[in-house]
Amino acid sequence: MNPPKITTDTLRAMKTRGEKIAALTAYDFPMTRLLDEAGIPLILVGDSLGMVVLGYPDTTHVTMADMEHHVRAAARAHPRALLAADMPFRSYETVKSAVENAKRLVAAGAEAVKAEGGRAITEQVRAIIGAGIPFCGHLGMLPQHVHEEGGYHIKGKIEPEHQSLLADADALVAAGVFAIVLELVTPPVAREITRHISVPTIGIGAGSDCDGQILVTPDLLGMLPWYNLKHVKPRLNAAEQIKAAVKDWSENVGRGALTNTR
Ligand code: KIV
């Protein structure tokens, strides 16, 4: 018998049981399938797509069309995992555009959406949830605000930020979110939010006390040697392995020795 489909209730029950949630990003069919076969319960088609797949300098260049294209590819894997998708920059500026664009992502195959912000977007969050679409919050460092913020900075170090994060988390929970991603939040503040709210927190660079952790899969697999991220210890050196395999094969081609058959 196939194990049951993961839902937002499954993730909440994991928090209640104290079972950690391991979440990862995927942007296409094979990676979604591989992560699902490895038992990952929450897969995000993140707008990190912009940097790790599309070669943009940051997430502000990602469009709805980009997201829909990659959500469709990921959804073709029909994962058991809950498949969430990021709402790209400027796709949720008004309540109307937020609901329309969330529906487009669901039409492409997403089962939930995520967008960045707290009290500033609660009207949009309520409207999306009101339209029957599960919503995941995202607080802390907000990559779509990288230009206003002048870089990727840790949040929660000073008291106003700490209070603001707590107020944003409360507002999102009151609006009905099923989980909140905490990105680059100081570990003590991430721990406090995690203990304080009823829905799972999923941390990235926010210490080990969140209810779960999320990583950008190419970072975990060592596919992007050009970046050196403090919060990720790659579990594979895929970039070097790919280059070595390609070099070996091309040298064989050069010698006229086709050894790539099984
Ligand atoms: O875009 C993304 O991949 C994300 C995760 C890092 C949380 O938002």
User: In this structure, are residues 68 and 85 in contact, taking their beta carbons and an 8 Å threshold?
Assistant: no
Position of tokens 């070595």? 244
- Alpha carbon nearest to ligand 1 atom 8, residue: 46
What's the confidence (pLDDT) of residue 262? 63
**Cα–Cα distance for residue pair 119/165, rounded to 1 Å:** 10
What's the confidence (pLDDT) of residue 166? 98
* DSSP, res 233: -
61 Cα: distance to centroid of ligand 1 (angstroms): 15
User: In this structure, are residues 209 and 18 in contact, taking their beta carbons and an 8 Å threshold?
Assistant: no
What's the confidence (pLDDT) of residue 261? 63
pLDDT (tens digit, 9 = 90+) per residue, 234-250?
Answer: 999 999 999 999 999 99
Position of tokens 């209730």? 9
| pTM score, whole prediction | 0.96
| Best mutation site among 45, 61, 86, 152 for ligand 1 pocket (most ligand atoms within 8 Å of CB) | 86
What's the confidence (pLDDT) of residue 2? 80
- Alpha carbon nearest to ligand 1 atom 4, residue: 46
Which run of H or of E encompasses 139? Answer: strand 135-140
User: In this structure, are residues 138 and 117 in contact, taking their beta carbons and an 8 Å threshold?
Assistant: yes
Of ligand 1's listed atoms, the one at least distance from the Cα of 114 is: 8
Q: State the catalytic residues.
A: 183
46 Cα: distance to centroid of ligand 1 (angstroms): 5
| Best mutation site among 66, 105, 204, 227 for ligand 1 pocket (most ligand atoms within 8 Å of CB) | 204
* DSSP, res 121: G
Which residues sit with their C-beta closer than 6 Å to ligand 1?
Answer: 25, 44, 46-48, 86, 181, 204, 214, 216
| Residues 6+ away with beta carbon under 8 Å from 250 | none
| Best mutation site among 21, 31, 47 for ligand 1 pocket (most ligand atoms within 8 Å of CB) | 47
Query: Which residues in the chain come in under a pLDDT of 50?
Result: none
- Alpha carbon nearest to ligand 1 atom 3, residue: 46
